[in-house]
């Protein structure tokens, strides 16, 4: 498969029913951190929240419940499969305040002063030009509106102990895959400067990083991706050799079976920035 083009509604990591299930588990593990970040940012009932790269909508559902019937969530994703999942999930939950929008983020534009909060999680790392997105969303965020992101800031912290040389090759393949499609695996470190260019002032930053062992909840966050299609996807896209894919599968299974193994997760940065009333 080409390393320079994907179908319009596909992702480097893939979009499938299996991925929908994995993303649900991932959100459950990260939900407390997301809720804390939204509280820090001042999320309130009645707000309109833009969820960019919403996936199958797990965060959108929480946001819709929090802003209540007087508020609204605009859930945006380029995958028709994911947008259908958001619509179906909202129907099942009786949520009538979610508006879905199928759109490539490279083309997204909204009316001026139309949203109170923008939420981004593990999205900006995959964009070829995040600054362009901020330029287009600059005026959509209301004065005193807030941007909240959970994005990778130091992916290199991801790894098992005891380590194995194939682990470094795997991490290198992950980073190369994102950069080949124009993304940046450690985008969070660049966000304060990007946000300043559109007049959004960063007011809070903190890292989120975990060390975990087999059988613990957080262990399933990165392992869920590896056990789904993460390794095979890199092989499919020619960023990892078939032999290294086989060796990494074997190594990951060995670490999962060893109760003394330790897994350190990729470092995620929480960034909260605000458009001042005078901007």
Write down the pLDDT at residue 228: 72
In order of 3, 39, 152, 183, 232, the CA distances from 236 in angstroms are 10, 40, 23, 19, 6
What tens digit of pLDDT does each residue of 24-61 get?
A: 889 999 999 999 999 999 999 999 999 999 999 999 99
Confidence of residue 12 (pLDDT cuts 50, 70, 90): very low
pLDDT at site 174: 94
Judge if pTM exceeds 0.85.
Answer: yes
Instruction: Say what the pLDDT of residue 17 is.
Output: 79
Would you say residue 218 has pLDDT above 90?
Answer: yes
On the question of pLDDT at 236 being above 60, the answer is yes
Mean pLDDT across the chain, nearest whole number? Answer: 92
Residue 4 in this model has a pLDDT that exceeds 50: no
In the chain, % of residues over pLDDT 90 = 85
pLDDT higher than 90, residue 11: no
Quote the pLDDT of residue 195.
98
pLDDT (0 to 100) of residue 9: 47
Q: Which fold would CATH assign to domain 17-156+183-209+267-275?
A: Rossmann fold (3.40.50)
Instruction: Provide mean pLDDT across the span 162-173.
Output: 94
Q: Give the per-residue pLDDT at 173.
A: 96
pLDDT at 229 over 80: no
Instruction: Please determine, for residue 237, whether its predicted confidence score (pLDDT) is greater than 80.
Output: yes
3-state secondary structure of 116: strand
Give residue 15's pLDDT band: very low, low, confident or very high (50, 70, 90): low
Spatial distance between the Cα atoms of 99 and 96, rounded to a whole number of angstroms:
8
| Domain boundaries defined on the chain | 17-156+183-209+267-275
Q: How far is CA 249 from CA 63, 211, 277, in A?
A: 36, 20, 51
């Amino acid at each position: 498969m080409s390393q320079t083009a994907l179908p319009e509604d596909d992702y480097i990591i893939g979009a499938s029913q299996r991925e929908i299930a994995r993303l649900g588990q991932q959100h459950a593990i990260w939900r407390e951190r997301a809720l804390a970040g939204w509280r820090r940012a001042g999320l309130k009932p009645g707000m309109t929240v833009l969820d960019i790269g919403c996936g199958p909508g797990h965060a959108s559902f929480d946001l819709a419940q929090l802003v209540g019937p007087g508020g609204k969530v605009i859930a945006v994703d380029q995958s028709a499969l994911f947008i259908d999942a958001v619509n179906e999930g909202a129907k099942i939950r009786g949520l009538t305040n979610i508006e879905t929008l199928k759109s490539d983020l490279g083309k997204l534009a909204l009316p001026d002063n139309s949203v109170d909060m923008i939420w981004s999680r593990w999205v900006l790392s995959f964009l070829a030009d995040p600054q362009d997105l901020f330029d287009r969303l600059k005026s959509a965020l209301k004065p005193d509106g807030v941007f909240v992101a959970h994005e990778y800031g130091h992916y290199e912290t991801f790894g098992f102990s005891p380590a194995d040389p194939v682990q470094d090759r795997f991490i290198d393949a992950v980073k190369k895959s994102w950069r080949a499609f124009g993304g940046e695996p450690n985008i969070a470190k660049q966000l304060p400067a990007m946000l300043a260019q559109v007049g959004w002032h960063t007011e809070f930053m903190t890292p989120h990083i975990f060390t975990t062992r087999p059988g613990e909840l957080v262990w399933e966050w990165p392992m869920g991706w590896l056990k789904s299609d993460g390794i095979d996807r890199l092989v499919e896209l020619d960023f990892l050799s078939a032999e290294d894919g086989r060796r990494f599968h074997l190594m990951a299974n060995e670490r999962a079976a060893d109760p003394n193994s330790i897994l350190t997760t990729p470092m995620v940065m929480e960034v909260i920035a605000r458009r001042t009333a005078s901007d």
